[in-house]
Amino acid sequence: MKAYMKDVMQLTSTGVRFIDQTQLPLCLHVAETWDYRVVIEAIRQLRVRGAPLLGISAAYGITLAARAFSHLDHSEFHNVMHRVCDEFAASRPTAANLFWAIGIMRTILDQDSSVLEIVRYIEQRALALHADDAARCDAIASFGSNIIPEACGAITHCNTGALATGGRGTAFAVLLEAHERGKRIHVYADETRPLLQGSRLTMWELQQHGIPSTLITDGTAAMLMRRGDIAVVITGADRIAANGDCANKIGTYALALAAHAHALPFYIAAPLSTVDVTLASGDAIPIENRSSEEVTRISGTSIAPAGTDVYSPAFDITPAELISGIISEAGILRPPYTDSLTAALNA
């Protein structure tokens, strides 16, 4: 395991340690806090990000709050902690894993146990969620690597490595596993505007693992497909509706359309904790809108005229009919996703 992976997110006896991803790739800075409110702000500011990691971050942040409020009587503790859960739920709206983890924490809060026992259960469950996601990542990598040709170009969007999860990653882990199995792959990473998670984070992780790779602008992907340089497209997801529609980083839909136009397979790699069966389709997935400055400024420097009107959704929806398969810890799920997702979740 690469050294940086242990510092992505870690619960300690005194607090939480995490890599501040806004400082990569220029600086590998590990922050530490004992204050759950700092974790909430880290989620909002994208200092920690990636759907599975947001769930883990919330679980660890709620653990910090439970430790801080453990002196309260049972009724006060219960009320305060549910308000803390509400604060985490309001931090970002799209990633299903965040709400999945918060829901698990809420069930523990509602147990008929002493405050100290609940604090202990919360900490144990948070650690278990982290370990569980790491195991899911390994399974996704193992199943997914089988769909990668022995020698090929592959393209991915945004960041889905260890920086986004509790383990090796999702889509990134599939490519990493293929590389480690000796497959001769070359990964093309979209830069992923406007926050450049592809150039700042994915390229950094690809280099950490020695995977042959090339950075491209988001608009270059279709040309590479037409030229025959790409054999497979694989991305992650932040929420998957019951019918298989997927929310992922803005630009994913365009990548899926380009893959469809060039008859290339387009895969989503995500744990089942990303699935939201309460939503019939992607039309119901809440899409986060980000600050206009994320588009009009880079590293504090303005790149657009003052007063420019900006529309900056953080995610888009890729319809299920454009998705060749969903690579999960239960295997590679195929259409119709209403059936395969239901079967995997009920297994």
- Catalytic residue positions, numbered: 238
The CA distance from 59 to 107, in Å, is: 12
Query: CA angle, corner 109, sides to 108 and 110, nearest 5?
Result: 90
Q: Are 82 and 107 in contact (CB under 8 A)?
A: no
Distance separating alpha carbons of residues 16 and 328, to the nearest angstrom: 28
Query: Degrees (nearest 5) of the Cα angle 327, 147, 339?
Result: 35
Write the burial class of residue 144 (CB in 10 Å: 0-12 exposed, 13-18 middle, 19+ buried). buried
**Which of 240, 210, 291 minimizes the C-alpha distance to 97?**
240
Within 8 A by CB and 6+ apart from 49, the residues are 21, 43, 159, 163, 164, 197
Q: Other CB atoms closer than 10 Å to residue 279's CB: what's the count?
A: 19
**Residue listed under structure tokens 């999945």:** 100
User: CA-CA distance, 115 to 328, in Å (whole number)?
Assistant: 36
DSSP, residue by residue, 98-159: HHHHHHHHHHHHTSSS-HHHHHHHHHHHHHHHHHHHHHHHHHHHHHHGGGS-SEEEEEE-S-
CA-wise closest residue to 158 among 180, 112, 189: 189
